[in-house]
């Protein structure tokens, strides 16, 4: 046996799975808007899945880094990180549990964006009494990205974003 050999049996090929939205990619959604589409699944071999779930979610991601220098040439750094779910809705679109190899199956779905978050937080970061940080349920904010154009990687600090997917 070679250095990278394995006794595990080879894994079967994965089925083809794609998702299509009926709205153009640049569509801006608001609370109570409907987003619809369909999932296409083509199994490589016959399968008997328990579910095919489709989800719509929203989340807030923040990483704020601050520094404070003292008179004795000492600098303290503070990091405020937050990943707050705004909402998530999931539906099972599977009607027939017996899926045959090579057949193309189409599963339509439709979601409605909620009015608000429905989530409560114990406290916010930094100053809990600062009105800018909402800890109770609130209307859905628009999607946005604020930060350096190079901070799209979650390994880079100093950004805030709201995203839906």
CATH of the domain at 48: 2.60.40
* Residue 99 pLDDT: 93
Boundaries of domain holding 43: 16-164
* Residue 16 pLDDT: 92
Say which range, 20-29, 116-125, 139-148, has the weakest mean pLDDT. Answer: 116-125
Percent of the chain with pLDDT over 90: 32
Which pairs with CB-CB distance under 8 Å and at least 24 residues apart come from 51-55?
51/92, 51/94, 52/92, 52/93, 52/94, 52/107, 53/90, 53/91, 53/92, 53/93, 54/19, 54/90, 54/91, 54/93, 54/107, 54/109, 55/88, 55/89, 55/90, 55/91
Average pLDDT value for residue range 17-37: 90
Query: Residue 87 falls within a domain, yes or no?
Result: yes
pLDDT tops 80 at residue 136: no
Query: Residue 7 falls within a domain, yes or no?
Result: no
């Amino acid at each position: 046996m070679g250095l990278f050999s394995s006794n595990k049996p080879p894994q079967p090929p994965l089925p083809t799975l794609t998702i299509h939205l009926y709205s153009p990619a640049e569509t801006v959604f608001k609370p109570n808007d409907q987003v619809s589409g369909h999932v296409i699944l083509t199994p490589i071999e016959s399968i008997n899945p328990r579910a095919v779930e489709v989800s719509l979610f929203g989340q807030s991601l923040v990483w704020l880094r601050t520094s404070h220098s003292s008179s004795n040439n000492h600098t303290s750094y503070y990091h405020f990180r937050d990943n707050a779910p705004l909402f998530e809705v999931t539906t099972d679109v599977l009607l027939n549990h017996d899926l045959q190899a090579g057949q193309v199956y189409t599963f339509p779905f439709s979601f409605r964006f909620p009015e608000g978050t429905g989530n409560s937080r114990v406290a916010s970061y930094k100053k809990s009494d600062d009105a800018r940080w909402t800890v109770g349920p609130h209307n859905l904010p628009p999607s946005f990205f604020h930060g350096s154009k190079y901070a799209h990687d979650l390994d880079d600090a100093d950004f805030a974003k709201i995203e839906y997917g």
